[in-house]
Structure 1
C-alpha cells in the first residue's frame, strides 16, 4: 500500500473463522505510545472478521492487530494476530460492484479482451486480486481489484476493463503532467547562474575586452566632433621638490610617450602646448573646450588638495568639464589618498561615481609599456578610437621596454602600476 492507493479500499483478513465457536472481534493499531483500539467510522469499517480501511493514506501504514475472544465449553480463549501494512511501489485499483443475491455474473478484469492473469502470465507484473464480498439485506457488495506490481510505458493509454455480466467499467493510466514549476525554477536558476558568471567574467576582463574591441573594429579616422585634443591634463604644482619632479616626469615625459607616441592620442598639457603671450584664463578656457577628456592627477599631499579651489586654471577646467560640456573626468591618484574632505564637491562626486585609477611608486624616465594594467586602465577611459601612430613610433615599439606589471589594490579595487 502506498500513495498510489489513495481513494481505494483495503481489506485485511486477519483470523479465520473457527466453526462452532462464539467469537467477538476487536481491531486495534499499534502506535509508539501503545496499542489504540480502532472504532467504527468513516475511516474504518469493521465487518465481522474483516476490517475495511477507506481512503488509504501514508498515515495508515503500520502494524494492525485483530483480537478474537472465544468461548468454548464454558472456558474463554483469546487469539491475536498481526498484519504489518508497509509502503510499496505497487498500484492497486478496486472495482466495486453491487449485485443482487443469487446472481451468477462473472466478475473479472480484462485487457485487450483477455483475462489479465492470462495476458500477463509470463511476467505476472499485473494481476487480478482475490474477490471480496459483503452481504447486505437485499444485495451483495463485491470488490475485485487489480494490482500493478510494475508499470511500463506500454501500459499508459491502454484500457483495463472491469466486467460484471454485461456491465463494464474501465480505467486508463495516463502519464503524469510535467511539473512546469520545477522546470521554470530550474531554468530561472540556470539563467541567473549564467548571468552572474557572465558578469563576473566581464568585470574581470572588461578592460581587455573593450580595448580588443576598439583595436579590432574601430577605424583610425578621428570623429568629426570639433575637438582637437583627446584630453586636457590637469596636475598639481607641488612645492616639494621630490614630489614635483615625480609629477613633472609623469606629465611631461611619460604621458606623452605612452598616450601620444604609443597610442596615438593628442594631449593638451598646460606649460607645454600654449602659445607665449596669451592670457592664462583665455588659454585654459579655449583649450578645455577643444578636449574630449579631462585628466586630473591627484597626490596624497594635503597641501595639494586645495589647489582646485585657489587656482584659476583648475577652476576653469573643472567648471567647463563638469558643468558646461559634461566632459568625462579621469582621476589618477599618485599614491593612496585617505582624506577627500578638502577636495571640491565636484571631484568628490566623480571619485564616488566613477572611481579613480591608483598608481603607486615613483615614475622614472625609463620607457613605459602601454600594455601594463595601469596604462590599460587609462586607455579604457580615453576616447574609444585608435590612430595611426607616426612612423617613428614603429621603431619605438621594436625596442624593449620595462613593462612593470600592475597590481590590484584590494581595498579600493583600483589598479596600481
Structure 2
C-alpha cells in the first residue's frame, strides 16, 4: 500500500490550517452531525483517546453540543454555527503518544421548510383592462418546484407557445429570505378578446408537500367619472385663470380692438356735443407752465382729435372772448361725455384756487349732479397730494390717474403708445379711424419747452 505524506509547518499562533481543512455542509434544523474526518484510520479504539471539539480554537461546551464517538452533535442549528472547527485526540503507538487533529470548515445552509408552496400574486383578485389591449400578469411563487408552476385558463393548460394569443413565459428569481426558491411565470395575453372577460385564469404551484392555486379575473375597464370630473374642473379653473390673466394684461388692447372692429359706428345719439371737457390747472410759470400748456393746447388735440377723431372742449380755445366762464362751463359740461382734469407737476392748492367757479362747477357736475366720468392725467409724478383739494384726492383714489412720463417726441405722441391707449380706453367709443400715420411735432413745441427751461 502506498500513501502520500505531506509535512507542513504550523504557523505560530494559528490552531487551524485552512489549506488542509475539510469542507462540510449542514442545514438549519433541530440537530445536525459534524464528522471528524479520517479518524477511521485509527481503528484500534483502545489506543485512541476521546475526541475534543473546538470552534475557532475555543473548546465547545454547553447543552447545545454533544459528542457521539468522534462526531459532534449540534442542537438547534442556526446560521451562526458556521465557521472553522477542529477535532483533536491522542493516539498511542508502541508506547509513544501522538497528537491527532482534523480541521473542518463548516457551512450552514437554510433548510427549506416542509410545507406547501405559497403564491404571493395573484390573490384571487380581478383587474380592469381594455378590449384589444395586451395584458401581462405575474404568478409569483415561493417554495415550488420550477416545473410545477403553470397557468390554466379557458378550461385548459396554457403552455409556452408564442404563436398563440395566450401563452406563458417562466423565469426564476433569487431565493427567499428562508432559502426557499422563488419562481414566477408570466401570463401573456397579446390581445384581449371579449371571451377573456369574467373568465378565471388560474396559477397553480406544487411541491412534495402540497399544491396551491390562485386566480385572476379580467374585467372591462369602467371610465373613472370622478377622475374625469376632477380633471375637467382643474382644466376649467386653469383656463379661467389664464383667461383672466390674459384679460388683465391685454384688457385695454382688447377693448380698443372691439371698439375699432365691432363698434365702429357714429357717436351715440345722446345729445352730447363734446367727448371730453378739458380742465387744466394753472402753474406759477417756468418750464412746468410751458410743458403743461404744450400738452393741453398742442399734443392733446393732435392725438385725440386728429388721430382718434374725438371732439374736445378746451377753455381758451373753444370759448369766445367776453363770454362768462361759469356760463360757458355749465353749458359745456352738460354737452360733454367726459371730464378730463390735467394736473401739472408743480400743481398746488393755490394754483387750483384760480378759476374757482369753473373748477367747483366741474367737480359738482362730476361728483354729484350728472355723475360725469372723470379722466385724471398727471404731467409727471406728483409727490404730495395733501396740498390738493379733497375732490381731486377722491377722484385719484376712486378712478386712479394716468401719468405722462418723459419728454414730447414723435413716438410718444402716437395714439398707439401705452399712455394714449389708457386715455382712449377711458374715452367713449368713436368712429373707426386709421392710426397708421405718425404726426410730427412742430418745432415750435420744442422751442416753447426750451424757452421755459
- TM-score w.r.t. the length of structure 2 is 0.53
Paired residue secondary structure (1:340): coil
**Does 1:303 find its partner at 2:348?**
yes
Secondary structure class of the residue paired with 1:174: strand
Asked if 2 retains the 8 angstrom alpha-carbon contact of 1:249 and 1:363, the reply is no
- Mapped partners of 1:401, 1:181: distance in 2: 63
Q: Match of 2:200? A: 160
1:209 aligned onto 2:254: yes
5+ residue gaps, structure 2: 1-25, 32-63, 80-108, 113-119, 126-149, 172-182, 205-212, 443-453
- Return the offset for 1:335: 0.8
* Alignment match of 2:414 (pick from 369, 375, 379): 369
TM superposition score normalised by structure 1: 0.57
Is 1:91 matched with 2:121? yes
* Distance in 2 of aligned mates of 1:351 and 1:317: 15
Q: Which residue of 1 aligns with 2:155?
A: 113
How far 1:254 sits from its partner (Å)? Answer: 2.0
User: Which is higher, the Rg of structure 1 or of structure 2?
Assistant: 2
Does the 8 Å contact 2:283/2:351 carry over to 1? no
Look up the SS of the partner of 1:204 in the other structure.
helix
User: Residue in 1 aligned with 2:297?
Assistant: 252
Contact 1:299 1:335 in 2 (8 A): yes
Is the counterpart of residue 75 in structure 1 residue 105 in structure 2? no
Q: CA deviation at 1:399?
A: 7.7
Q: How does 1:15-164 map to 2 (within 5 A)?
A: 23=30, 75-77=73-75, 78-80=77-79, 81=109, 91-93=121-123, 110-117=152-159, 123-125=167-169, 148=186, 154=192, 157-160=197-200
Q: CA deviation at 1:299?
A: 1.7
Instruction: Find the counterpart in structure 2 of residue 330 from structure 1.
Output: 375
1:249-288 residue pairs with structure 2 within 5 A? 249-288=294-333
Gap change, CA 1:121 and 1:281, over 3 Å in 2: closer
Deviations for 1:181-217, whole angstroms, at most 9, x for unmatched residues? 5555554444444444333433333333322222222
Distance 1:294 1:201 in 2: 30
Answer whether contact 1:109 1:146 (CA < 8 A) is retained: no
Instruction: Quote how far apart the aligned CAs of 1:265 are.
Output: 0.9
For 1:206-261, what per-residue CA distance to the aligned partner results, in whole angstroms no more than 9, with x for missing partners? 33332222222223311011211100101012121432222222212222222122
- Show the 5 A alignment for 1:166-245: 171-174=216-219, 183-245=228-290
Change (3 A) 1:302 1:91: same
Gaps of 5+ in 1: 1-16, 25-68, 85-89, 96-107, 128-144, 404-417
Contact conserved, 1:234 with 1:297, CA < 8 A, in 2?
yes
Distance 1:118 1:197, change over 3 A: closer
* Equivalent residue number for residue 336 of structure 2: 291
Residues 70 and 193 of structure 1, relative CA distance in 2, 3 Å threshold: farther
**Quick one: distance in 2 between partners of 1:263 and 1:324?**
29
* 1:227/1:291 contact within 8 Å kept: yes
